[in-house]
């Protein structure tokens, strides 16, 4: 029993360590939670994407990605540019007038579910760190557990499911804090700094 429980626990802790970090994907999920807009589909997209990537890494996709570094380089350029655009949009919202911020909140509430899902997919699959963390790193660690590698994968997948559920649900609970335009300015300022900074870092490292 311990031969399978220990790899699962290792996967849970490793997955939590790699997933729980400030990044564009986590910030977007938190934003959706705060706005109470399309939280469930966004959480589902992020969690399911992680499950697919972790499974692929354990199955050996990591070796294929390592053999084609140009894929990671392309993802850095595309992902970095996309994240910078989102950061600039957040900065514009932060600098908008009080009325514009209130109107923006109403616009967000009527935003398309597919637009939210599309953004979640882009922030996940265009982020090269996703491949480095979930496919390469977790794939290598999982395979070091021998016959217990799939139990490691199960633990890592559970970490992702739990984290994104908590992040989306936590955002909902924080919604009352963002009842004023000032709070939205602060949130958008933080989003702008993180997004633009991470986007520039991705492009610069390509």
| Domain extent listing, the chain | 24-205
Q: Exposed, middle or buried, 179 (CB in 10 Å: 0-12/13-18/19+)?
A: exposed
Residue 149: is its pLDDT beyond 80?
yes
User: What pLDDT sits at residue 183?
Assistant: 74
From CA 23, how far away is CA 198, in angstroms rounded? 8
Residue 185: is its pLDDT beyond 70?
yes
Give percent above pLDDT 70 in the chain.
Answer: 80
User: What pLDDT sits at residue 100?
Assistant: 43
User: What pLDDT sits at residue 178?
Assistant: 66
From CA 53, how far away is CA 65, in angstroms rounded? 12
Among residues 122, 22, 135, 137, which one has the least CA distance to residue 75? 122
Reported as a single tens digit per residue, the pLDDT across 115-144 is 888 889 988 888 777 777 777 777 777 877
pLDDT band at 21; cut points 50, 70, 90: low
Q: Is the CB of residue 158 less than 8 Å from the CB of residue 12?
A: yes
At 81, phi and psi to the nearest 5? -65, -40
Return the higher-pLDDT residue of 87 and 102: 87
- Model-level pTM? 0.71
Mean of pLDDT values over 11-40: 81
Mean of pLDDT values over 162-179: 80
For residue 145, what are its two tokens? 């557990």
Ranges of beta strands (E only) in the chain are: none
Mean of pLDDT values over 82-94: 79
User: What pLDDT sits at residue 113?
Assistant: 80
Q: Exposed, middle or buried, 136 (CB in 10 Å: 0-12/13-18/19+)?
A: middle
Reported as a single tens digit per residue, the pLDDT across 39-64 is 899 999 999 999 999 898 888 766 66
């Amino acid at each position: 029993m311990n031969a399978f429980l220990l790899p699962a626990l290792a996967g849970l802790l490793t997955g939590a360590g790699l997933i729980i970090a400030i990044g564009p994907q986590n910030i977007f999920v938190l934003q959706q939670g705060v706005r109470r807009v399309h939280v469930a589909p966004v959480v589902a997209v992020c969690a399911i994407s992680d499950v697919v990537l972790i499974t692929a890494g354990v199955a050996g996709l990591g070796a294929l990605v390592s053999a084609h570094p140009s894929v990671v380089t392309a993802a850095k350029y595309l992902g970095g540019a996309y994240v910078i655009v989102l950061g600039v949009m957040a900065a514009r919202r932060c600098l908008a007038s009080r009325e514009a911020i209130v109107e923006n909140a109403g616009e967000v509430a009527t935003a398309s579910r597919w637009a939210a899902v599309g953004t979640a997919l882009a922030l996940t699959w265009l982020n090269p760190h996703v491949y480095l963390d979930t496919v390469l790193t977790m794939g290598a660690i999982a395979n070091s557990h021998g016959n217990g590698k799939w139990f490691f994968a199960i633990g890592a997948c559970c970490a992702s499911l739990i984290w994104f559920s908590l992040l989306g649900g936590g955002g909902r609970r924080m919604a009352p804090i963002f009842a004023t335009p000032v709070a939205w300015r602060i949130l958008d300022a933080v989003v702008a700094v993180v997004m633009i900074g991470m986007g520039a870092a991705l492009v610069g490292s390509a």
